Amino acid sequence: MHLKMKDCEEPLPEEGPDPESRWGLIFDGAVNAYGNGIGAVIINPKGTHIPFSARFLFDCTNNIAEYEACIMGIEEAIDLRIKVLDIYGDSALVINQIKGEWETRHQGLVPYKDYARRLLTFFNKVELHHIPREENQMVDALATLSSMFEVSRWNDMPRISIRRLERPAHVFAIEEVVDNKPWFHDIKQFLQSQEYPLGASNKDKKTLRRLSGNFFLNEGILYKRNFDMVLLRCVDKLEAEMLMNEVHEGSFGTHSNGHAMAKKMLRAGYYWMTMESDCCKHVRRCHKCQIYADKIHVPPTLLNVLSSPWPFSMWGIDMIGMIEPKASNGHRFILVAIDYFTKWVKAASYANVTRQVVVKFIKNQLICRYGVPSRIITDNGSNLNNKMMKELCNDFKIEHHNSSPYRPKMNGAVEAANKNIKKIVQKMVVTYKDWHEMLPFALHGYRTSVRTSTGATPFSLVYGMEAVLPVEVEIPSMRVLMEAKLSEAEWCQSRYDQLNLIEEKRMTALSHGQLYQKGMKQAFDRKVRPREFKEGDLVLKKILSFQPDSRGKWTPNYEGPYVVKRAFSGGAMTLATMDGDELPRPVNADAVKKYFV
């Protein structure tokens, strides 16, 4: 049986949480009629649970499932850079075999035991404990659940939302009794005639007497005694609505928040029982407060990472410009393409980037030099999405994907390359009109610099060797001096060796990139605050800051409301106006927020 090795380097001493902090790991496997699944939960020192689960696409025994669950949990603990770990499981066989107290006689379990013991060397201290099945119910349920769900592709896990219900279901089914009486009717009646409502229980009577002690009746008007002995006039529902409208958005209304509104009305001498919650609900439904509210920058969905399986199979294309001042040759735009695997950047300057220019650039600079890619990702510009582009992709069997409108993160690799190229060029220019002459030198510097995401230079991943820098010619480096002494045959053999080893470099860069993406995803996902939308929801859409608007400084941050026409997985959706007219382009969940009426 072949077991995969850990796809990360050994953690450095300074990485991860406090080396002395003690973490816990609970694991379990499930083999049943529905399928095979495993579950593991890592518990941090504060008691927070971090669950992991997987479904097998192969048949296995219960003992193998237990080993797989244990190994998955240990690997996740290594990725979290944990140093001290307590492992708990209800399989006595797995626990005692890993500890070395039991002999492993089944040949199919020997590789699992050896691999698990090898993984334990990543920790400073590990203790394994056997626990009864009754104390392992959480991961048992997680493993059973994993075995019952069909997982169609990698990392495709059904999302289960757990709601918090504070009352029994029948409480919400009770219909509201509408009698058109103010909330203080029973209190006022009791103060006037000392009479209780019909059908009141002893408990209700006691509560009514306690509440009435805080109220004062004078000439038919009920007042509430404040804690500083100031009398507050009690108002009914209609009066309260009028007060909230006047204080919040009246002639002198400042559209303050609900808590400030409630305090302002208390100071003015008014009171009703649900004052603060009603004020907050009123502010929440205010149209102006919703469209002028601060933009939400917290991501609503988890990060989806893109990775290319081999060099030059997936390119991202974007445009820099219009650039002012224009170059001395009349060029005002830079067309940029980046390979998602090697981070190799190809760029050229043009006076105008038309659809013909884009198609010619793809044919001459990408296809003829690096082969036919399987996928091209662009934004929604008309020069990148047209009939000529569609025909080109059909002829060469290329998949053309578009990022969401006004969402640069969807094509982040080329956006990052644009930013870096602009930074390099603006520091190299002399007259600010010679930037087109500096562009090749900027590309050379970019290609020969180590990229953080791959741990290598794009040049080495493409050609298998590092480029000779101009300074190495003026001041010969050891590499240049050594190559100068080689004969032609020796130099050719050295080059062959470099090309033979290029696959190893690329696999190392691929593993480094996967770890880098995993770390980025974990950091991003910690900031996520889910906002779910479904068909029929009313939403407001962000107004982009670079769009011209006649309102100038008084332009709101949101516009709408719109209706969610269709909601897709990953956070994308299509919107329609209140009249039913569908917007031409989809939007992402981070560009909208719910609208309350």
CA separation for the pair 573, 534 (Å, rounded): 9
pLDDT at position 199: 84
pLDDT-based confidence at 9, cuts 50/70/90?
Answer: very low
pLDDT at position 284: 92
Alpha-helical runs (H) found in 213-315:
237-249, 258-268, 275-285, 287-291
Q: In which residue are the tokens 């080893």 written? A: 501
Please check the confidence at residue 439 and state whether its pLDDT lies above 50.
Answer: yes
595 in Cβ contact with 558 (< 8 Å):
no
Q: Which phi and psi (to 5°) does residue 193 adopt?
A: -125, 5
pLDDT-based confidence at 2, cuts 50/70/90?
Answer: very low
Q: How far apart are the first and last CA of the chain?
A: 61
CA separation for the pair 175, 63 (Å, rounded): 54
> Which tokens hold the place of 561?
């409301």
Query: Across residues 152-166, what is the average pLDDT?
Result: 66
Q: Between 534 and 309, name the one with better pLDDT.
A: 534
Q: Between 132 and 157, name the one with better pLDDT.
A: 132
Q: In which residue are the tokens 């600079």 written? A: 365
Q: Between 515 and 408, name the one with better pLDDT.
A: 515
DSSP secondary structure letter of residue 581 = P
Strands lying side by side in the sheet with 231-234: 215-218, 221-225, 231-234, 270-271
pLDDT at position 137: 87
pLDDT-based confidence at 141, cuts 50/70/90?
Answer: confident
Please check the confidence at residue 176 and state whether its pLDDT lies above 80.
Answer: no
Among 37-51, 291-305, 477-491, 537-551, the least confident range: 477-491
Please check the confidence at residue 595 and state whether its pLDDT lies above 90.
Answer: yes
CA separation for the pair 273, 279 (Å, rounded): 12
pLDDT at position 514: 86
CA distances from 81 to 20, 76, 590 (A): 12, 9, 32
pLDDT digits (tens, 9 = 90+) for 100-121: 898 888 888 999 999 999 999 9
pLDDT-based confidence at 3, cuts 50/70/90?
Answer: very low
| Side chain identity, residue 17 | P
pLDDT at position 170: 59
**Residues linked to residue 336 through DSSP beta bridges, in sequence order:** 318, 347
Domains, the chain, ordered by start: 22-148 (3.30.420.10), 179-292 (1.10.340.70), 314-492 (3.30.420.10), 537-594 (2.30.30.140)
% of the chain exceeding 70 in pLDDT? 91
pLDDT at position 251: 79
Candidates 458, 426, 453; CA nearest to 442 is 426
CA separation for the pair 22, 484 (Å, rounded): 57
pLDDT at position 463: 87
| Side chain identity, residue 231 | L
pLDDT digits (tens, 9 = 90+) for 11-20: 455 556 788 8
508 in Cβ contact with 460 (< 8 Å):
no
pLDDT at position 6: 42
Query: Across residues 270-294, what is the average pLDDT?
Result: 92
pLDDT at position 402: 83
Query: Across residues 153-161, what is the average pLDDT?
Result: 63
Residues 6 or more apart whose Cβ sits within 8 Å of residue 128 = 87, 88, 89, 95, 98, 99
**Residues linked to residue 22 through DSSP beta bridges, in sequence order:** 84
257 in Cβ contact with 282 (< 8 Å):
no
Please check the confidence at residue 311 and state whether its pLDDT lies above 80.
Answer: yes
Helix (H/G/I), strand (E/B), else coil: 332: coil
Please check the confidence at residue 194 and state whether its pLDDT lies above 70.
Answer: yes
pLDDT at position 16: 65
pLDDT digits (tens, 9 = 90+) for 551-586: 888 889 999 899 999 988 778 889 999 988 998 888
Candidates 404, 330, 395, 402; CA nearest to 367 is 395
CA separation for the pair 231, 226 (Å, rounded): 6
pLDDT digits (tens, 9 = 90+) for 450-467: 988 888 899 988 888 888
pTM of the model: 0.59
Alpha-helical runs (H) found in 408-486:
412-428, 435-447, 458-463, 470-474, 478-484
pLDDT digits (tens, 9 = 90+) for 346-397: 999 999 999 999 999 999 999 999 999 999 998 888 888 889 999 999 999 9
Out of 165-179, 397-411, 564-578, the most confident range is: 564-578
pLDDT at position 11: 47
Q: Between 42 and 546, name the one with better pLDDT.
A: 42
| Side chain identity, residue 230 | V
45 in Cβ contact with 22 (< 8 Å):
yes
370 in Cβ contact with 395 (< 8 Å):
no
558 in Cβ contact with 570 (< 8 Å):
no
